[in-house]
């Protein structure tokens, strides 16, 4: 029985990056042996165990043989005869197919270290095309390491395209796609996730609404990805990043001048996007242009923005809205100074309105609709006072 550190921990150690999680492979052991040593089994499809003290994951070395469709259509062999090299062979990229033994020696049968040095994301074997999820995973690693200069190997892109042209991509569950999208949104340069999917023609298969932006206008697509990039520079919050990405999905109706959010709704419904991400994307998509047109000489427009975005009931979400709009503004060429000034003014106006003492209105006997009218007037005057003072 031998134990090896594998995967991302080895990769990140060689890159000089912080090692967040450590995964281990155990060769030459049975599930019974692991249980006798005090490990807790947690894997259902194949034997994975938690260390009794560190709670880190220890998986028995295994091989996988394609036996069905999709990313779960595999038969697993986790017998004691499976070697470390066989286990590493089933992995997606060479940079993830390295191991380290108990003495710290590197085991690299498939050239992962060389690809790290050359900044290449390359598949390990032809078995890559058996798992459609790997298309999204490679795109996610592109988003993680693009800032370091990593690129996807041309032959790997071709394999990804083969998967797209097959029916395998259609078997991926919506929840699994969203999980990869959300992980990609949290990476250093998330725009590269979508660019990589575009390069292998997968964007139209899994994220056709985003792909549609490239078909409508290269400028719309550029602004969407640039807004995502700027949002990634401002915050790690994936809801804000998602909203910035989707801000161009709203189509203005030529008669009502209101935005039609059909494309955004289609994307969110199909991928089962969580409500917090969806709701923020909806208000950003609907009102980011109103934010951009705000004129401090028109306090009515400011109050209308507060009401439309439900800022009085959801002030925290309005802060996320402001950050999203700042990212979009930066993508459109606005300066940090102007955007920070506007956001500061709007935030102060909202905070002041939220802290208004309305007891005088209640004491005066105003109720129902009449109370609402008087409260509107009080908020409007408050906004006028704030902006006229600063001007």
Q: Which tokens belong to 232?
A: 């990634």
Tell me, what CATH number does 148's domain have? Answer: 1.10.110.30
Average pLDDT in the 7-34 region? 93
- Last-in-domain residue among 115, 145, 163: 115
Mark whether 2 and 108 lie in a shared domain: yes
**Contact call for residues 142 and 121 (beta carbons, < 8 A):** yes
Look at residue 357 and tell me if it is in a domain.
Answer: no
**Contact call for residues 303 and 379 (beta carbons, < 8 A):** yes
Domain count, the chain: 2
Mark whether 97 and 137 lie in a shared domain: no
Residue by residue, DSSP assigns 209-266 as HHHHHHHH-HHHHHHHHHHHHHHHHH---HHHHHHHHHGGG-EE-TTT-PEE-HHHHH
In angstroms, the CA 132 to CA 170 distance is: 9
Mark whether 124 and 89 lie in a shared domain: no
pTM: 0.90
Average pLDDT in the 114-139 region? 95
Tell me, what CATH number does 2's domain have? Answer: 3.30.460.10
Look at residue 264 and tell me if it is in a domain.
Answer: no
Mark whether 1 and 77 lie in a shared domain: yes
- The strand pair at 99-100 and 106-107 is best described as antiparallel
Look at residue 262 and tell me if it is in a domain.
Answer: no
Look at residue 238 and tell me if it is in a domain.
Answer: no
Mark whether 13 and 85 lie in a shared domain: yes
Specify the pLDDT at position 61: 92
Q: Above pLDDT 70, what percent of the chain?
A: 94
For the segment 62-108, what is each residue's pLDDT rounded down to a tens digit?
A: 887 865 665 565 677 878 999 999 999 999 999 999 999 999 999 99
Print the domain residue range for 75. 1-115
Mark whether 12 and 106 lie in a shared domain: yes
In angstroms, the CA 225 to CA 346 distance is: 26
Look at residue 20 and tell me if it is in a domain.
Answer: yes
Mark whether 79 and 176 lie in a shared domain: no
**Strands across the sheet containing 2-6:** 40-41, 48-50, 57-60, 23-27, 2-6, 99-100, 106-107
Average pLDDT in the 130-158 region? 96
Residue by residue, DSSP assigns 99-115 as EE-TT--EE-TT-HHHH
Look at residue 97 and tell me if it is in a domain.
Answer: yes
Specify the pLDDT at position 79: 87
In sequence order, what are the beta bridge partners of 248?
none
Look at residue 65 and tell me if it is in a domain.
Answer: yes
Give the 3-state DSSP-derived string for 173-211, with helices as H, strands as E and coil as C: CHHHHHHHHHHHHCCCCCHHHHHHHHHCCCHHHHCHHHH
62 versus 315: the higher-pLDDT residue is: 315
Mark whether 26 and 73 lie in a shared domain: yes
Specify the pLDDT at position 391: 46
Mark whether 109 and 1 lie in a shared domain: yes
Look at residue 123 and tell me if it is in a domain.
Answer: yes
Mark whether 106 and 158 lie in a shared domain: no
| Residue of 361, 274, 349 lying closest to 309 (CA atoms) | 349
Whether the per-residue pLDDT at 299 is higher than 60: the answer is yes
In angstroms, the CA 244 to CA 230 distance is: 9
Mark whether 67 and 136 lie in a shared domain: no
Average pLDDT in the 205-233 region? 89
For the segment 30-72, what is each residue's pLDDT rounded down to a tens digit?
A: 999 999 999 999 976 678 999 999 999 999 998 878 656 655 6
For the segment 322-339, what is each residue's pLDDT rounded down to a tens digit?
A: 999 999 999 999 999 999
Whether the per-residue pLDDT at 152 is higher than 80: the answer is yes
Specify the pLDDT at position 336: 96
Average pLDDT in the 344-362 region? 91
Q: Enumerate residues 6+ apart whose C-beta is below 8 A from 86.
A: 61, 63
Instruction: Share the mean pLDDT of the chain.
Output: 91
Mark whether 104 and 18 lie in a shared domain: yes
- Last-in-domain residue among 145, 178, 206: 206
- Last-in-domain residue among 150, 183, 206: 206
């Amino acid at each position: 029985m031998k134990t090896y550190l594998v995967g991302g921990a080895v990769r990140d150690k060689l890159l000089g990056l912080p090692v967040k999680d450590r995964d281990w492979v155990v060769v030459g052991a049975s599930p019974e042996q692991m249980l006798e040593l005090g490990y807790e089994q947690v894997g259902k499809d194949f034997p994975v165990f938690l260390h009794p003290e560190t709670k880190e994951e220890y998986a028995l070395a295994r091989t996988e043989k394609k036996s069905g469709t999709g990313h779960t259509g595999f038969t697993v062999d986790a017998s004691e005869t499976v070697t470390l090299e066989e286990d590493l062979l089933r992995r997606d990229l060479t940079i993830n197919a390295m191991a380290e033994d108990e003495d710290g020696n590197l085991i690299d049968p498939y050239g992962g270290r060389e690809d790290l040095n050359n900044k290449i994301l390359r598949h390990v074997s032809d078995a890559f095309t058996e798992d459609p999820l790997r298309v999204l995973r490679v795109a996610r690693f592109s988003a993680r390491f693009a800032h370091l200069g990593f690129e996807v190997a041309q032959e790997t892109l071709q394999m990804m395209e083969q998967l797209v042209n097959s029916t395998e991509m259609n078997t991926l569950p919506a929840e699994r796609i969203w999980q990869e999208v959300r992980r990609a949104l949290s990476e250093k340069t998330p725009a590269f996730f979508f660019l990589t999917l575009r390069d292998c023609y997968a964007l139209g298969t899994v994220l056709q609404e985003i792909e549609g932006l490239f078909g409508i206008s290269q400028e719309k697509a550029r602004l969407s990805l640039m807004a995502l990039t700027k949002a990634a520079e401002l915050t790690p919050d994936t809801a804000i990043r998602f909203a910035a990405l989707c801000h161009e999905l709203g189509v203005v109706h030529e008669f009502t001048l209101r935005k039609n959010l059909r494309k955004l709704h289609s994307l969110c419904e199909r991928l089962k996007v969580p409500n917090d991400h969806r709701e923020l994307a909806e208000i950003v998509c609907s009102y980011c242009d109103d934010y951009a047109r705000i004129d401090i000489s028109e306090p009515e427009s400011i109050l209308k923005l507060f009401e439309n975005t439900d800022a009085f009931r959801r002030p925290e979400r309005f802060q996320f809205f402001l950050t999203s709009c700042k990212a979009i503004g930066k993508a459109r060429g606005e300066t940090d100074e102007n955007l920070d000034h506007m956001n500061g003014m709007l935030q102060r106006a909202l905070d002041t309105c939220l802290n208004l003492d309305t007891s005088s209105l209640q004491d005066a006997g105003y109720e129902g609709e009449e109370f609402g009218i008087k409260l509107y007037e009080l908020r409007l005057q408050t906004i006028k006072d704030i902006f006229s003072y600063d001007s």
